[in-house]
Amino acid sequence: MTEAESQSQSRLSAELLSMIRCIACREPLKRQDDGYSCSACGRRFPEVRGVLRFVAADSYADSFSYQWQRYARTQLDHSGRSLSEHDFIKKTGFAPEELRGKLVLDVGCGMGRFAEVATRWGARVIGIDLSAAAEVAARNLVDRDFVAMQADVFELPFAPESFDYIYSIGVLHHTPDCEKAFKNLPQYLKPGGSIVVWLYSGYNKWYRFSDQYRKLTHRMSIRQLHAALRVVVPFFYWLDRGLRALPLVGRPLAGLVHHVFPVNRHPDPEVRVLDTLDWYSPKYQSKHTYEEVFRWFENCGLEAMSVAEISIGVRGRKPLTGPQNESQETLNATGAPVERG
C-alpha cells in the first residue's frame, strides 16, 4: 500500500468513528481493539475476519453467503476486463469524476464488485451486507479505501446525513419489504447528496414462469441447487445455440424456450451458473415499476429524479436544507403554495 493510500484509509477510519452509531440506542460507539462498543447501553459489535458485525447471522440471506464465497472473484474487474464498471455505469448513471473524493455507502455490497469500481474511481466506500459476502468483499478490497460491515439495511449503524452518495444495486428486491428498505436510506444522505437504486423490472411478465419455479428452488439446499444448475445451465445454453442454428423457426423457438425456462446466457460459463443461481436461490425476489419507485422517491422528499440506462434504475437527490425545504413546507394539501401573512 502506498503512503497516499494509507493516509486515505486512516481518513476513512476517522470518518467512521464520527458517524458510527449503536443500532440499539443510536448513541455514538467507541473503538476497541476487537471492534466497537456502546458506552450508553453496553452493546458490543465485534470485528471478525476484517468485518464489523452488526448482525449475529446471515438470516434469510444464507444463499448469498454461499454464492459469494463460491464465486468470490468471478465478476471482479481486473486488468483487461471492466464488465462490472460498465454495469455500474449503466445501472447508476454515475461518472468517475462525481464519485472521486466522496464518501459512499454501498448497500448490499456482495463480494464488492461495484465498491471495487467506486474505490478505483477515488471514492471512500463503506459496504454493508447481511450475508457473509461482507467477508469476501473485505478480502477482495483489502488494499482499497473500503470498510466492510455485516449489517441489515433495516438497521444501519450510521448517524443521519453521513454520506455524499448511496447506491444499492440488485439488493432491496431481495428483502422482505423493498419499499420499507428503500425508505430507510435517504436519512443517511447529506443534504445535496444522491441516491441510486437498481431493482428487477416489474414490466417483464415472462418472469411469472421463473417465479413459479423459485417457489421450489429457494427451498432446496443451496449446494443441491448449485449442483443441479451446473448440469441444467450448460444444457439450456447448448439447446439455445442449437435452436438458433435452425433456419426460420430457430430464433423464435430459442426465445420462447429462454422465456419459459430463464437461464443466463452470458459468454462466460462461470457467470452463467452464478447468475442463474442468483436468480433461483433467494427467498425474496420482488419486481418493481418506475411508477412505484418514483413514488417512493417523492415520498422521501427526493428531487431531480432520473432513470438509468438499464431498467429499472432510479436516481434522486436530497434537497439542500434552506429555501427548498421551506418552500415544500409552505405547500397546502392540494399542492398549491400558501400565501405568507
β-strand 35-38 against 29-32: which pairing, if any? antiparallel
Stretch that binds ligand SAM, among 6-14, 163-171, 201-209, 232-240 (CB under 6 A): 163-171
152 binds ligand SAM (CB under 6 A): yes
Which residues within the stretch 249-288 sit at the binding site for ligand SAM (CB under 6 A)?
A: 278
3-state class (DSSP) for residue 126? strand
Residue placing its CB nearer to ligand SAM in the complex, 108 or 157: 108
170 binds ligand SAM (CB under 6 A): yes
What is the widest separation between alpha-carbon atoms in the chain?
76
Output the nine-digit C-alpha cell for 188.
443517511
Smallest distance from ligand SAM to CB 127, Å: 9
Which residue type does 153 have? V
3-state class (DSSP) for residue 40? coil
77 binds ligand SAM (CB under 6 A): no
Residue placing its CB nearer to ligand SAM in the complex, 131 or 210: 131
Residue 193: closest CA among 216, 155, 172, 164: 164
Instruction: Report the alpha-carbon distance of residue 238 to residue 168 in Å, rounded.
Output: 34
Instruction: Report the alpha-carbon distance of residue 129 to residue 115 in Å, rounded.
Output: 12
Smallest distance from ligand SAM to CB 123, Å: 15
66 binds ligand SAM (CB under 6 A): no
CA 49 remoteness from chain centre:
22
Q: Please identify which residue in 19, 125, 130, 273 interacts with ligand SAM, judged by CB under 6 A.
A: 130
88 binds ligand SAM (CB under 6 A): no
Smallest distance from ligand SAM to CB 113, Å: 5
Q: Please identify which residue in 19, 51, 61, 125 interacts with ligand SAM, judged by CB under 6 A.
A: 61
Site string for ligand SAM, 293-322 (x = CB under 6 A): ------------------------------
Which residues within the stretch 110-129 sit at the binding site for ligand SAM (CB under 6 A)?
A: 110, 113-114, 128-129
Residue carrying the nine cell digits 493510500? 5
Peptide bond preceding 20: is omega within 30 degrees of 0, i.e. cis? no
Residue placing its CB nearer to ligand SAM in the complex, 77 or 129: 129
169 binds ligand SAM (CB under 6 A): yes
Paired strand residues for 317 = 194, 303
157 binds ligand SAM (CB under 6 A): no
Stretch that binds ligand SAM, among 2-10, 102-110, 233-241, 301-309 (CB under 6 A): 102-110
Stretch that binds ligand SAM, among 27-35, 61-69, 93-101, 257-265 (CB under 6 A): 61-69
Output the nine-digit C-alpha cell for 276.
442463474
Site string for ligand SAM, 186-225 (x = CB under 6 A): ----------------------------------------
Report the Cα–Cα distance between both ends of the chain, in Å, rounded: 62
User: Do 117 and 72 meet the contact criterion of CB atoms below 8 Å apart?
Assistant: no
Q: Strand locations in the chain, DSSP E? A: 29-32, 35-38, 44-48, 51-53, 103-107, 124-129, 146-150, 163-169, 189-198, 303-307, 313-317
Interface residues with ligand SAM (CB under 6 A) are 61, 64, 68, 108-110, 113-114, 128-131, 133, 152-154, 169-171, 174-175, 278
